[in-house]
Amino acid sequence: MRILVLNGPNLNLLGVREPSIYGEKSFEALEQLIRKTAGELGAEVELFQSNHEGALVDKIQQALHTADGILINPAAYTHTSVAILDALKAVQLPTVEVHLSDISQREKFRQFSYVSLYAQKVIYGKGFQGYVEGLEWLCATVKRKDQHAD
């Protein structure tokens, strides 16, 4: 089972950027947790972070032939990117959208998500634990899908 984990703009600055909102743990700590969790679930993960919308779209398109599911924190592109939404819809892979903060309690412009129009599950406000829950959900979903394919 292969899961593509995408992180959007400024997430590489975790621990530095607004720790009162995003926490004090580093991006490297997040990636370590993702790898550890994936290993425990028997999944391989490809981790990718970019501050560039087109790079994220390219990675989603490449997942069509390389991944069984996508876990994405689109960050600021959550609220602006129809291109990311369209790429997710095109590849038709099980997708979880995750956010460290509770976007429903943030500024009005942060409360709408284009990605949620496709994602089968949305997790927000749980910090790093949201990634763990997202990986667990994706792995269970992919396993069920594979069992029904047999």
Dump pLDDT digits (tens) for 36-86: 999 999 999 999 999 999 999 999 999 999 999 999 999 999 999 999 999
Report helix angle 53-62 to 82-91, nearest 10.
0
- How confident is the model over 138-145, as a mean pLDDT? 91
- Structurally, the chain folds into a number of domains equal to 1
- Per-residue burial over 45-78, b if 16 or more Cβ lie within 10 Å, else e, is bbbbbbbebeebbebbeebeeebbbbbbbbbebb
Q: Which of 99, 114, 124, 131 is catalytic?
A: 99
pTM, rounded to two decimals: 0.92
Q: Is 65 a catalytic residue?
A: no
Q: What is the CATH number of the domain that holds 128?
A: 3.40.50.9100
Q: Report d(CA 120, CA 23) in Å as an integer.
A: 26
What range defines the domain where residue 61 resides?
Answer: 2-149
Does residue 133 have a pLDDT over 80? yes
Q: Is 22 a catalytic residue?
A: yes
Q: Pairing relation of β-strands 69-73 and 2-7?
A: parallel
